[in-house]
Amino acid sequence: MPRYDFRCRACGATFELRRPMAQAGDPAVCPQGHQDTVKLLSTVAVTGAASAGGAPQQAPSAGGGGGCCGGGCCG
């Protein structure tokens, strides 16, 4: 059974819960009784959603045949 890490936003405590994947998105209750918790993505790998950095994209650069030299203005 996978293990999920949660963090309580009320008291700042972190705790772990073991639950089936079907209940991964269910709200968890802090051991102190708080219900304002968030799930941490530390143990569950997320694939396909990471897009760090940036895709190599060709930026339009100068010097690739400008429209200025058509009439001999710069040569």
Least Å from the CB of residue 57 to Zn ion: 44
Distances (CA, A) of 52 to 40, 49, 59: 19, 9, 19
Residues in the chain: 75
Least Å from the CB of residue 4 to Zn ion: 16
- Contact positions toward Zn ion, by CB under 5 A? 8, 10-11, 30, 32, 34
Q: Which is nearer to Zn ion, 17 or 30 (CB)?
A: 30
Alpha helices in 1-75 (DSSP H): none
Least Å from the CB of residue 17 to Zn ion: 13
- At 8, phi and psi to the nearest 5? -90, 130
Q: Which is nearer to Zn ion, 31 or 69 (CB)?
A: 31
